[in-house]
Amino acid sequence: MLVYHLPGTFETREAHLDLLWEAGATGLEERAGLIRAYFDARAELDDEIADGEWRDEADQDWQAHFKATLRPVRAGRVTIVPPWLLHEVEDGQVALIIEPGMAFGTGHHATTRMAVEALSALDLSGKRVMDVGTGSGVLAIAAALLGADHATGLDIDPLTIPIAIENAEINSVPLGRVFFAEGSLGLDDELEDVFDVLVANLYAELHDLLAGEYAAALNPGAPLILTGILTGKLDLVRAALDREGFGNVTVREDGEWVLVTATA
């Protein structure tokens, strides 16, 4: 792996970061007072960034490489970024910081991006939002940052809950406005709340199974946002929504993935 070591930090060399990208860097990382710029091949560098050093490093630090290649993801009014790229969020965009880790939901998957876009198209102020299959907490946190009064994130995988809580803390969303718990709809006897918006990034067969629960968990006329659906499975979801009395169904595709919205 070819890495160009440039003395300084993202802050002190902010004006030079673009020169590295323009020279063909595939990723940038800041570590121990150095900017590490990853390249596939040696490149001609502008004089302003010529004070660094080329290093051919063993291909062992895949985690660092993966992190270095992450880019911010723009989804409607929200930009999802790892903590070290916060400075790249454009003015006017809502920054949603997600630490890439064990839970699904860094924003780099089309389904997460489409779901955040769909949330961002709604006026969430004063709304109570349910996020089924919360993973990293990305959708519940997006809802809170977009003005929702309260967002609940459920996941059957207990490992995701502390990760989602940590992501809420990184985004300074108080735990009074988001709540994360292990569980799912239909399983939690104590969860008898009704919501103003429900978002779920799961998969088509599960949406089919849970469609009745979605209807029971939503106020009349409230929006439902479903994704994680492969294009070939869209009819299954459409039939489930029809069966449970949802209306105003819209469909959006991105590659092999589909996002469906409807109203209760």
Q: How far apart are CA 136 and CA 164, in angstroms?
A: 5
Instruction: Report the residue number, 23 or 251, with the smaller CB distance to ligand SAM.
Output: 251
- Is residue 139 a contact point for ligand SAM (CB under 6 A)? yes
- Is residue 155 a contact point for ligand SAM (CB under 6 A)? yes
- Is residue 134 a contact point for ligand SAM (CB under 6 A)? yes
- Is residue 156 a contact point for ligand SAM (CB under 6 A)? yes
- The residue count for binding ligand SAM (CB under 6 A) is 21
Minimum distance, C-beta of residue 13 to ligand SAM, in the bound complex (Å): 32
- Is residue 171 a contact point for ligand SAM (CB under 6 A)? no
Minimum distance, C-beta of residue 235 to ligand SAM, in the bound complex (Å): 21
Is the Cβ–Cβ distance between 1 and 57 less than 8 Å? Answer: yes
How many other CB atoms are found less than 10 A from the CB of residue 172? 8
Q: How far apart are CA 222 and CA 219, in angstroms?
A: 5
Q: What are phi and psi of 110, to 5 degrees?
A: -55, -35
- Is residue 110 a contact point for ligand SAM (CB under 6 A)? no
- Alpha carbon distances (Å) from 35 to 54, 217, 242: 12, 48, 54
- Is residue 82 a contact point for ligand SAM (CB under 6 A)? no
- Is residue 138 a contact point for ligand SAM (CB under 6 A)? yes
Q: The tokens of 191 are what?
A: 């969860």
Instruction: Report the residue number, 49 or 130, with the smaller CB distance to ligand SAM.
Output: 130
Q: The tokens of 67 are what?
A: 């992190």
Q: The tokens of 140 are what?
A: 């519940």
Instruction: Report the residue number, 93 or 167, with the smaller CB distance to ligand SAM.
Output: 167
- Is residue 132 a contact point for ligand SAM (CB under 6 A)? yes
Instruction: Report the residue number, 2 or 170, with the smaller CB distance to ligand SAM.
Output: 170
Q: Say how many Å lie between the first and final Cα of the chain, rounded.
A: 52
Q: How far apart are CA 48 and CA 236, in angstroms?
A: 57
**Residue whose C-alpha is closest to residue 226's, from 244, 243, 249, 245:** 249
Q: For ligand SAM, which stretch binds (CB under 6 A), given 90-98, 107-115, 235-243, 254-262?
A: 107-115
The footprint of ligand SAM on residues 189-218 (CB under 6 A) is: 201-202, 206
Q: The tokens of 10 are what?
A: 């993202």
| Binding region for ligand SAM (CB under 6 A) | 104-105, 111-112, 115, 132-135, 138-139, 154-157, 160, 184, 201-202, 206, 228
